[in-house]
Structure 1
């Protein structure tokens, strides 16, 4: 699995990770005529993860070799670019029991697209795994989130940590080796941000006594270790090279003419906030300090969405709907987060309206494809939603119902109304098909198109 570290017109700095059974010596990697030995990141379940750090020049024939196989990598970032964005790679229950052929159909399509026109980057916007079932690995977490929140004995917590570590490791390793995904991950450098299912459903929006319980903190710690190893290519105690601060996992990567920023909307989330002060400071610095050029902002939860205050008021009328409260709290548009939402929108709007610094927001999470715009003096600020690449599409009726809600409109910033819109060439605001997003730069101009499972690639949308 390839992870992007740094890029410039001369080439790219990469990390490749590899899982091997304990006792099986890891192979040597060769890149640009140099042999690279691995470093150990960690392990569980009788296996070890190794990492190779190396650099490839900006060469159309750039590649690395390992285990007797050659992997071509598109390393020329100075001109035209091909970038893919995905999210929601799984489902809540029985994810790994599904046949690979149907589960990974869109990954195989993306791998074939990469064979025809090699990608420079894979952006993964959240829910790369659905870890909901890992809590079944130990008795004291089995009923999550309906758990005993009282302090647990140290011995029980040690057992829980090892059981969760094994469960996370196996889920990541098994999923990462599946056909389709594996073909992309080995050839296309990735940048990833997590969302709730990479930890557990609704992490951060659940009641604080659950989040801060011994079981809750152990679950979060192990999920973070696993994310760092499998999605960032780092040791559990290592600061990611692309990180913008500590205590959270936000990152920024700059490339010729373009920057990519991903705020961490989970590590410091609580029912009454999305990010703590330190995360806000580092995210603000990352966005305002990015060099001139197009900025793609990964917001794992859509930043431009339908008005939810009506839904929240209706749900408050009956206790039967309380189980969905955390789902609404997850959204930027929740009444609870409105001040933070306005702050977030103002931050990206100020960047968007500066000369030669357009912003495009990339989001997932909702298991539908859609897009939105916010009016700005410099032209519309676009949000592109692609979700999910392997999560089953919801019923068409759900998409229609959400589309009806979206017609109410929203304007959290005065003079900058938000409008949700249909994909190019498609009816309806929301598209209920599995999907991923393609971003292309041609002669300096960016465009986007959605790859839809049933109807193929949409017409391009100029950004």
Structure 2
């Protein structure tokens, strides 16, 4: 990979110092980390090689830290790598250590330690040594999926026991290790920047015009920069989340709370205001560093540096001398091989989108769509971005010569989910106007309206959904392209989604006009919805309302239906989370485990292997409005053997099982919190298998 460097005002710190580990040299002081990421798998040479990275944040240093790593059971075969400085200013430095691990026939544990360091927090292992696991060369990865890992403004964090579910993640990891941890967005909540941070005075401005035209100068940028950095350090150093970051390699996409609540989904004229564009740039900087271990842009947007106010020909901003003073930024000329980089910058962030592609072991491909950088109230991603993504998927699947059997697609929000169009209509109707006026003048119904553009606060969340009225054409096109990909390459698509703070499983499938068993149906796609691992769930009535809205929906292709699966057969630990008749939405904190069923896995008892109740099918072949209607209860029943007995009695429910009747299928467990007042984070598992 070719590299270039931006020459800041700290030339001496750009040099590597191999003698930094010699006795007598001052130790490197760690502010945050280590954080481990998975990057990509290399199948091009002899053998298979896993590639990842470890990140630490330190006080500025003239020394170059070094990391040594090797098989955990064989300390004598260790390797070492010097840290690559990604960024340094007078207060901190970011160092990335690149790891390359050869895979063997069996799963392997590797350990790593950074030499000559001293932690400035209590978050570290014995002697600073950590370990992680990689799969065997012919195995697929075991996956942990989470989203919404933080608290909304005003939440009683102590009442919700902080990030307690990470204790259960670590317990499950001990039983059967995870090889990768997928973050579906909102890995951190930065919303406090407007409540107790530098945006508080701006948020308090009552006049909407003054708020829109308020400048985002270099002083405000520096204050926001400090806020975002300190918030990342605080959260990523909080146990038990910090231990998970150091032991399970991460793959992340971002969503609005990684920036600020609702970013991209407010009205266009307000989203284009200087303050939103400014915090878009600052948050992108630390998203690159903390979540992707890659260097940030040289400068970010301010209103008093014209060269930063629009993207240049390379899709980023030009340098602002004030931002580069006493600052070093590593700059490379080649993109990370896992990235799918958009062609044009987003409308409110002066950067190009960065979606992801990588192999999760032998038979699973992964794609994460960056659905925030290009987002507006009417667009989730540009058409040309979808073209780039599907061109990459086609190329990678063909190059794998049939080895890839599953595509896991990560979206920030669910795509198979109950409709709330009626609520959108009410909240955007003229009936709300008098209440909005009373709110503006007298503060009436203050909790209903947001502090940014004065609209109903819930509207930005509804506008985020693929099922929102304005996103439906884009949603339909994405579903059809996925179905075509699945059919052409015999690949099963499984979709991950978060954001909604409850657990569920939606499914797309061929309607009754097609005599197609689900296990052979290219239209069958499960949408595993896991959210939130830390934030509080919605009230019970909201979850119950969604369950009542769980109708059989018909995609306007005339071929595809969708609905949520009834999988919550009992309440977690006997604690009532929703109505007794609500089997499809679970308002309790949760995360998901995904484990491939190998070809040599033993059969499971009859609890999973029963046959479905056959449903009469009309073979007229008609489509559109004239297509035959399926029996209205079909989608609420199991569609294939892997969904039979979905719930607590399913073999996959324990979160570690790799047994099942679908050889090569994926066991999915949604681990649901039982008691939010327990800091141990005990969970109940609900399982199903996605063939």
Q: 2:685 aligns with which of 447, 451, 457?
A: 457
TM superposition shift of 1:10: 2.6
> Does the 8 A contact of 2:60 with 2:89 survive in 1?
no
User: Which runs of no fewer than 5 residues in structure 1 stay unpaired?
Assistant: none
1:435 and 1:91 map into 2 onto residues whose CA distance is 14
State yes or no: 1:150 paired with 2:213. yes
The one-character-per-residue Cα deviations of 1:411-450 (angstroms, maximum 9, x if unpaired) are 3432201111233544521001110000001213311011
TM superposition shift of 1:45: 8.9
Q: 1:266 aligns with which of 362, 367, 372?
A: 372
2:48 and 2:232 map into 1 onto residues whose CA distance is 33
TM superposition shift of 1:297: 0.2
1:445 aligned residue: 665
1:132 and 1:189 map into 2 onto residues whose CA distance is 26
1:170 and 1:424 map into 2 onto residues whose CA distance is 39
2:536 and 2:60 map into 1 onto residues whose CA distance is 35
1:244 aligned residue: 340
> Does the 8 A contact of 2:552 with 2:563 survive in 1?
no
Q: What TM-score, normalized to structure 1? A: 0.92
State yes or no: 1:415 paired with 2:559. yes
1:432 aligned residue: 587
Q: 1:209 aligns with which of 263, 269, 282?
A: 269
1:2 aligned residue: 36
TM superposition shift of 1:258: 1.0
2:198 aligned residue: 137
Higher deviation after alignment, 216-225 or 22-31: 22-31
2:176 aligned residue: 117
1:402 and 1:266 map into 2 onto residues whose CA distance is 25
Q: 1:332 aligns with which of 460, 466, 469?
A: 466
2:159 and 2:200 map into 1 onto residues whose CA distance is 30
Higher deviation after alignment, 273-282 or 100-109: 100-109
1:275 and 1:70 map into 2 onto residues whose CA distance is 41
Matches within 5 A, 1:120-199: 120-135=179-194, 136-138=197-199, 141-143=202-204, 148-150=211-213, 152=215, 157-199=217-259
Secondary structure of the corresponding residue to residue 424 of structure 2:
helix
TM superposition shift of 1:391: 0.7
TM superposition shift of 1:151: 6.0
> Does the 8 A contact of 2:547 with 2:584 survive in 1?
yes
TM superposition shift of 1:326: 1.9
The one-character-per-residue Cα deviations of 1:165-223 (angstroms, maximum 9, x if unpaired) are 11111111111111111111111111101111111111111111222121111110111
Q: 1:65 aligns with which of 101, 105, 113?
A: 113
> Does the 8 A contact of 2:476 with 2:555 survive in 1?
no
Q: 1:58 to 1:403 in 2, by over 3 A?
A: same
1:275 aligned residue: 381
Q: 1:333 to 1:144 in 2, by over 3 A?
A: farther
> Does the 8 A contact of 1:259 with 1:295 survive in 2?
yes
> Does the 8 A contact of 2:151 with 2:157 survive in 1?
no
1:343 and 1:182 map into 2 onto residues whose CA distance is 39
Higher deviation after alignment, 443-452 or 21-30: 21-30
1:369 aligned residue: 503
Q: 1:302 aligns with which of 407, 414, 433?
A: 414
The one-character-per-residue Cα deviations of 1:235-255 (angstroms, maximum 9, x if unpaired) are 103644411124102111124
Matches within 5 A, 1:84-99: 84-93=144-153, 98-99=157-158
Higher deviation after alignment, 290-299 or 428-437: 290-299
TM superposition shift of 1:361: 0.3
> Does the 8 A contact of 1:424 with 1:459 survive in 2?
no
> Does the 8 A contact of 1:63 with 1:72 survive in 2?
yes
Higher deviation after alignment, 430-439 or 61-70: 61-70
How many residues align? The count is 459
RMSD of aligned C-alpha atoms?
Answer: 2.4
> Does the 8 A contact of 1:45 with 1:169 survive in 2?
no
State yes or no: 1:284 paired with 2:284. no
User: Which runs of no fewer than 5 residues in structure 2 stay unpaired?
Assistant: 1-34, 71-77, 116-126, 298-331, 343-351, 398-403, 436-447, 449-454, 511-515, 571-581, 599-663, 675-682
The structure, 1 or 2, with the larger RCO (C-alpha pairs under 8 Å, 6+ apart) is 1
1:234 aligned residue: 294
2:69 aligned residue: 31
1:383 aligned residue: 527
> Does the 8 A contact of 1:81 with 1:119 survive in 2?
yes
> Does the 8 A contact of 1:438 with 1:448 survive in 2?
yes
Q: 1:50 to 1:141 in 2, by over 3 A?
A: farther
1:11 aligned residue: 49
2:13 aligned residue: none
> Does the 8 A contact of 1:373 with 1:419 survive in 2?
yes
> Does the 8 A contact of 1:424 with 1:460 survive in 2?
no
2:291 and 2:554 map into 1 onto residues whose CA distance is 34
> Does the 8 A contact of 2:54 with 2:97 survive in 1?
yes
TM superposition shift of 1:139: 5.6
2:483 aligned residue: 349
2:423 and 2:159 map into 1 onto residues whose CA distance is 37
